[in-house]
Structure 1
């Protein structure tokens, strides 16, 4: 069985949010910090196991744990162990701000983690603190080095582009010259609660792309299970640069991922205007066929593309809600 929508897009990649909680205050996401909602009960270990078991049977081979900050869960290592126990999972990744990575990455790797995306929105300590609300750049950079040291297969850096803040390409080139990491520039995306920040700081990624091409960077062919990034390499650099440009033409054409929120809702698009609740079918393992049927049915309503250009952001209040 394979997950495929009406536009012949095949889905082998699941982004699974396990918490909305976050301990950073990034300007573009949670500038006031996370506001706890006592009514929210995040997915349990058994529910996560049922989700993973079902999606692997439907052809998913890559799972990325997101949040919020996924590593804030006390049972995070247990979650990794559950997912890595499924032989068909080829890549088990996390997107993290790195705040708990330095002391734990070795344990997490032993539990099955083999890919890490670490958010670093600037290599300037001042700008890093201004954007994230945390004076932890030195520690987060050490997290990148530690991940490479312990042998994590894929180490990437995520940088959300912000006009006149962190858009100077040369600040990044020196850092990746001798490090085998992928640095991803992500266009700032509008959400329900960041309109002012979006209008002030949004910058099209093609401005960075033009600079890369002028400096001799070469576009790489996409590999299996890769995301939407256009990845560039250069013979003088060990690292690579990726561009994630959701406002570019045909961005949605190669969509290959689905999202399940920390509350058990299936989102066919980060900016979709609806979500399908799966939670009532996660209680017992013998509900798997019903769960599969609901997942397949939801794919039939997945649109061909998002409507970000029309400032239609769906039900997304902020990026921690679904997991970015």
Structure 2
């Protein structure tokens, strides 16, 4: 593969994204699913963005799931989000798109080439839980080897690329907190910069995870948990993502409007829509003054 040449912008964004994990309070990294949603979120002052595999799959008319969206499609989408938002972006890189650790390493290199400054690698297999050969979660030793390969590839880059290691037990219907913690500790030992166990069920589980590791922990919000940024900070969380929640919120608005039209023949949903002029303003490029500053 051709070596990646880091731009000054990517270097600055990589440093900024890394440093956000060590700030005075947790930061929220929301998950746009396309260029338009990235522009909107950037306008609200978020410091960084993250992609969503599920949000992208749904926008392409597909269900979420392993291999439903290709590596090329995910990285092309990530590149658009990087360009549109102008912010540091970390990507959902699923399980690394390949059977071997070298495949995972190549995914990290390609992610850097797409302009990303971080990416998550999960330990899921995409298989049904039908016994040892069909487990939805990889054996620990195999998963650790893949995380280590991702970290090594990231650290060979000439800018900080933040690798997030995901323990998928709860997300895959295996609510085993002890094994989840054991996995996160092993991923930390393998060099992962951020640790993440999506779908933790409650504050107690979040606190247990945070207290069991020394690297920053990402927690997924936007579902049933009713915890604020301050609540999560008190539990030890350093980063908060929304996964596919924002894209599903948009889908929810669309389906409610369609249901109203087809079932009631009315159009009251229009009262809650963003005014046309405001929508246009969100996507209007700033003009530049004669000295080059945005006005």
TM range (shorter): 0.3 to 0.5
Q: Which has the higher contact order (CA 8 A, sep 6+)?
A: 1
- Which structure would you say has the larger Rg? 2
TM-score for the superposition, normalised by structure 1: 0.45
Structure with a larger share of its residues in strand: 1
TM-score for the superposition, normalised by structure 2: 0.48
